[in-house]
Amino acid sequence: MLSGMSPALARAARALLGMSQSELARAAGLGLSTIVDFEKERRQVSREVVCAIRSALEESGIEFICEDEGSEGLKRRK
């Protein structure tokens, strides 16, 4: 997991927002295949890609939570 952002967490964040993979790709400035490959863990993506995905989700209203025990989660900002 890079930058507190796993593929499962990205899928969960999109679901919470009701955001499609295409919408996330546009918001992150990435290709759709990059989003699909990341979420399905088909290939490793760079730290920059993960940061772009995370930033796009945060700008859309997601707050990521990482606790000391290594658990991860998210919530929608109010």
pLDDT digits (tens, 9 = 90+) for 54-76: 999 999 999 988 766 666 788 88
pLDDT at res. 22: 98
Cα separation, 22 vs 64, whole angstroms:
21
E strand or H helix at 72: strand 72-76
What's the length of the chain? 78
Q: Is residue 66 part of a domain?
A: yes
In this predicted model, what pLDDT tens digit does every residue of 5-54 receive, in sequence order?
889 999 999 999 999 999 999 999 999 999 999 999 999 999 999 999 99
CATH code of residue 67:
1.10.260.40
Domain limits for position 65 = 7-73
Residue 47 domain-assigned?
yes
* pLDDT on residue 3: 54
Q: Does some domain include residue 1?
A: no
Residue 69: predicted pLDDT: 65
Whether 2 is in a domain gets the answer no
Give the global pTM.
Answer: 0.86
